[in-house]
Amino acid sequence: MNLENITEKVAAVALKTGGFIRQERKRFSYDEVEFKGESDLVSYVDTESEKQIISGLEKILPEAGFITEEETTIQGQKEFTWIIDPLDGTTNFVHGIPNYCVSIGLMHEEKIVAGVVYEVANDECFYAWKDGGAYLNKQQIAVSKAKSFSDTVLATGFPYHEFERLDEYLLILHQLMESTQGLRRMGSAAADMAYVACGRYGGYFEYNLNSYDIAGGVILVQEAGGKVTDFKGGNNFIFGREIVAGGVVHPQLLHVIKKYW
């Protein structure tokens, strides 16, 4: 299987869908928002974007299964499975905050082997495939080589439900606030992973995640020379609902998380 060729085709699908999202943002009204949960927003842009992505991916790898956020097609894992978030950062999108992405990951059995994250507002397309490196708009990228928290900016995502571990999370934030150049919460896990891959962030962590939030970004970080784990340092990050991604400071970030989690 030619993963480079597949990734190029996936990137084209993401760019096309991103163009649709960009056009719809110009006319979008908050009145068109629906709520899947108290703080879980969705709109016709999410569902239509997902349909467009699925249509494109079915032509690339017809035998693959799908795991998608909006469930506009039959869900299920196969040997190869597409994991899709058609609009990661929907809350940003509906409020006109320019940080939202198309995120597509291709999983072979239990490992991500190709990924694309297209940050729509900035027209930045991040992509990677197994053993092929990671790229931003055709330029190869690498994770931050900073060895100390004092030389890095870290990213996280605030929980918007399941607040039972909030106290532990705030303790982690407290220590990181005192030891880094800053913490960022942009509102798109896919963008956070992409920013780690290209060295903008030294690391990123979050819990209460779904597979489609991070699948596109996992291999970006790995192929850019970084490390991705769960909060215990293991490999249960695709479906384990928690992730730590980073460059050289990954072990330090993981140490802080383990201290309180």
140, 164, 197 - which closes a domain: 140
Tens digits of residue pLDDT in 152-166: 999 999 988 889 999
Count of domains forming the chain: 2
Give yes or no: residues 134 and 156 share one domain: no
Beta strand pairing call for 153-156 and 203-207: parallel
Query: Whose CA is closest to 104, among 69, 155, 72, 145?
Result: 69
Range of the domain at 223: 149-260
List, for residues 86-112, the tens digit of each pLDDT value.
999 999 999 999 999 999 999 999 999
Q: Which residues are annotated as a binding site?
A: 69, 85, 87-88, 213
- CA atoms 45, 48, 52, 58: torsion sign: positive
CATH code assigned at 89: 3.30.540.10
Q: Residues 108, 205: one domain?
A: no
Q: Do residue 164 and residue 130 come from a single domain?
A: no
Whole-angstrom distance between the N-terminal and C-terminal Cα of the chain? 40
Q: Which two tokens stand for residue 168?
A: 């532990």
CATH of the domain at 170: 3.40.190.80
Residues of each annotated binding site for Mg(2+): 69, 85, 87-88, 213
- The last residue of one of the domains, among 140, 157, 173, is 140
Looking at the structure, do residues 168 and 66 belong to the same domain, yes or no? no
Residues 136 and 187 placed together within one structural domain of the fold: no
Q: What is the pTM of this model?
A: 0.95
Burial class (CB in 10 A: 0-12, 13-18, 19+), 34: exposed
Q: What is the pLDDT of residues 17-38, one digit of tens each?
A: 999 999 999 998 887 788 876 6
